Amino acid sequence: MLARLAAIALLAGLAAGCAAPEEPPLSAEVAASAPALSIPADRWRTVLVAGDNSSPAFDNGIDSLRERFSAMGVRNIATYSASTRTGQLASARNVEGGLRTAGGEACLVYMTSHGDERGFFLKADKRMLSPSALDQALSQGCGGRPTVLVVSACHSGTFINEQTRRPNRIILAAAATDRTSFGCGAEDDFTYYDQCFLQQLDGAATWRELAQATQGCVQTLERRLGVRRESRPQLFVGAEVANLRLPGR
């Protein structure tokens, strides 16, 4: 599966977006420099969520992420999928429950699906997981421990707001609040953002480096494919985790 990553988007035509734009985008935020923070790979608690199965891209994304994170030494990985092809059903109850009991010394949450300005789509419930509900679940399960949240969906910049910005968190969003993201059609193997994240994973030492490299990859890919209204991936880095290293790095 991973061998196909480099060619997928280049061979595809312009993929369909996943929603329609409105609200002004949030600017990317990077916290001031801080000492490097390294947490052993086996101390990370990871939750992977594919919220919809209308495209194979979402399940393919978390399948590949599970493989890659496992290879990096992460042992505690819970997966949730709309198709239940892997892990548990991606319902709001299951996902929020998994986050509330996260534990570990550091939390990593990667969510990929459709989305709009209300939040992240969970097909099992036919509802949106809102930024406030996700914030509450993360606060209960991860507390003040280093926490990385990646939301790969249209309008996912909505998850970077006054409530969710916390000094112990890093938040990566695939699109600005008023923008769609791409690669979630029925013929796509990966979303553009998930593809770029996977491609850049080996070359980064810190989460901030990975986020910035993924942003650049998405921008290059969209321009190459002629996307007129780019997704503009977003980044927030809290001051306590400004130089948080990837597991195993």
Each residue's pLDDT tens digit, 66-98: 999 999 999 999 999 999 776 899 999 999 999
Burial degree of 229 (CB within 10 A; 0-12, 13-18, 19+): exposed
Each residue's pLDDT tens digit, 12-22: 333 334 443 33
Residue 25 vs residue 108, higher pLDDT: 108
| 3 state DSSP class of 215 | helix
Give the separation between CA 92 and CA 74, rounded to whole angstroms: 24
Each residue's pLDDT tens digit, 126-145: 999 999 999 999 999 999 99
Phi-psi domain of 202 (left: phi exceeds 0; alpha: psi -120 through 50; beta: other): alpha
The label of the residue with tokens 């993929």 reads 15
- Residue 33 pLDDT > 70: no
The tokens for 92 are: 């709001």
Give the separation between CA 216 and CA 219, rounded to whole angstroms: 5
Q: How many residues make up the chain in this entry?
A: 249
Each residue's pLDDT tens digit, 148-206: 999 999 999 999 999 999 999 999 999 999 999 999 888 899 999 999 999 999 999 99
Alpha helices for 72-153 (secondary structure H): 92-100, 131-142
Give the separation between CA 63 and CA 60, rounded to whole angstroms: 5
- Residue 102 pLDDT > 50: yes
Give the separation between CA 105 and CA 26, rounded to whole angstroms: 29
Can you tell me the mean pLDDT for 228-248? 96
Alpha helices for the chain (secondary structure H): 5-11, 56-71, 92-100, 131-142, 192-200, 207-224
| 3 state DSSP class of 160 | coil
Q: Mind listing the domains of the chain with CATH numbers? A: 40-232 (3.40.50.1460)
